[in-house]
């Protein structure tokens, strides 16, 4: 039950990230279109190219974040027994979600920290089992459950 509630919160955070990226794409699209219609000197053309480049970068980030959202949504009905993408790890102080990164938030008095399998922390936790301890910063935490 806590897994679904935490994943719903992660989805909310991910939707916020997506909304911000959509707003950035729209801003740069407007900027590149405005300058496109009035660009006549090299400096204006340069600004147009910069705005278009930023638009494309934000569109790429948006695609990645939409894929991340789809991943979390598919994880709603999953359950894990090993630390892998999609696993939710519970310690006495934190919940750790492996798969995507969103800002840290609190859930029932514990911080929820999410990260991808590319993050350095994944190398620390990936081979651990229930009852093992991990170091997060200066905190020694015991793994209580994996699901």
User: Taking the mean position of all CA atoms in its chain, how far away is CA 71?
Assistant: 11
Q: Are residues 73 and 93 both part of a single domain?
A: no
Instruction: Write down which residue in 77, 109, 132 finishes a domain.
Output: 77
Phi, psi (rounded to 5 degrees) for 97: -110, 125
Please state, in angstroms and rounded to a whole number, the distance separating the CA atoms of residues 120 and 50.
33
Please state, in angstroms and rounded to a whole number, the distance separating the CA atoms of residues 40 and 52.
16
pTM recorded for the entire structure = 0.88
Q: Are residues 94 and 72 both part of a single domain?
A: no
| Residue in this structure with the two tokens 């990164």, named with its chain if needed | 101
Tens of pLDDT along the chain (147 residues) come to 699 999 999 999 999 999 999 999 999 999 888 644 554 567 777 788 899 999 999 999 999 999 999 999 999 999 999 999 999 999 999 999 999 999 999 999 999 999 999 999 999 999 999 999 999 889 999 999 999
Three-class secondary structure of residue 147 per DSSP: coil
Q: Are residues 19 and 55 both part of a single domain?
A: yes
Say if 29 falls within a structural domain: yes
Q: How many residues does the chain have?
A: 147
Q: Are residues 8 and 46 both part of a single domain?
A: yes
Q: Are residues 7 and 70 both part of a single domain?
A: yes
| C-alpha dihedral sign at 59, 64, 70, 73 | negative
Q: Are residues 97 and 72 both part of a single domain?
A: no
Q: Which domain holds residue 106?
A: 88-146
Phi, psi (rounded to 5 degrees) for 98: -95, 125
Q: Are residues 106 and 132 both part of a single domain?
A: yes
């Amino acid at each position: 039950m806590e897994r679904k509630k935490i994943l719903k919160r992660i989805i909310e955070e991910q939707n916020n990230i997506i909304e911000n990226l959509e707003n950035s794409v729209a801003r740069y699209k407007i900027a590149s279109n405005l300058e496109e219609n009035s660009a006549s000197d090299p400096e204006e053309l340069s600004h147009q190219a910069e705005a278009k480049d930023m638009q494309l970068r934000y569109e790429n980030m948006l695609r990645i974040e939409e894929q991340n959202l789809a991943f979390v949504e598919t994880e709603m009905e999953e359950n894990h027994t090993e630390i892998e993408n999609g696993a939710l790890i519970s310690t006495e102080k934190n919940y750790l979600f492996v798969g995507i990164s969103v800002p840290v938030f609190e859930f029932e008095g514990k911080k929820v920290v999410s990260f991808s399998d590319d993050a350095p922390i994944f190398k620390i936790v990936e081979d651990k089992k229930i009852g093992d301890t991990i170091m997060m910063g200066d905190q020694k935490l015991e793994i209580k459950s994996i699901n």
